[in-house]
Amino acid sequence: MWIIELDDRSAGMIQSYWHKDYPDHDGAVGLDGAVGIDYFLATEFAGRGLGSIVIRAFTSLVFERYPTAVWCAATPAQANRPSWRALELAGFERLRACQPPDEPPAYLYAVRRRDASGTRSPASAS
């Protein structure tokens, strides 16, 4: 878990985890080799574009810290448009709807690790 800071003030948090370490969640998401991320911005820092900047930078860190990860994924609530919009601006693609356990209906957003040519592989879950 990491603290997001802006101008020496805590602005939120972001964390990562192997989906496989949470089998119920992993089964609901159904994306092999995925590292999940969760994030939160305090209300006073929302709506400034900070979310997408942090998510993009953190995604690079995820692939560095999890060298065998294929995907970086997030499951924002379908009703949380600002959250899934930040993911889209950070380069994530919406793959499908999903229903993580004990959470509201969500969308699966993911970005695939860059291949050897430096380009992202197509975002397909097959």
Query: Given strand 34-41, what is the order of strands in its sheet?
Result: 2-6, 9-18, 34-41, 71-74, 106-112, 93-98
- Tell me: pLDDT of 17 over 90: yes
**pLDDT at res. 65:** 96
H or E segment to which residue 58 belongs = helix 50-65
pLDDT-derived band at 124 (thresholds 50, 70, 90) equals very low
In tens, the pLDDT along 21-64 reads: 999 989 999 999 999 999 999 989 888 889 999 999 999 999 99
- Tell me: pLDDT of 86 over 50: yes
Quote the pTM value: 0.88
User: Is 8 strand, coil or helix?
Assistant: coil
2-112 to CATH, choices 3.40.630.30, 3.90.850.10, 3.40.630.10, 3.40.50.300: 3.40.630.30
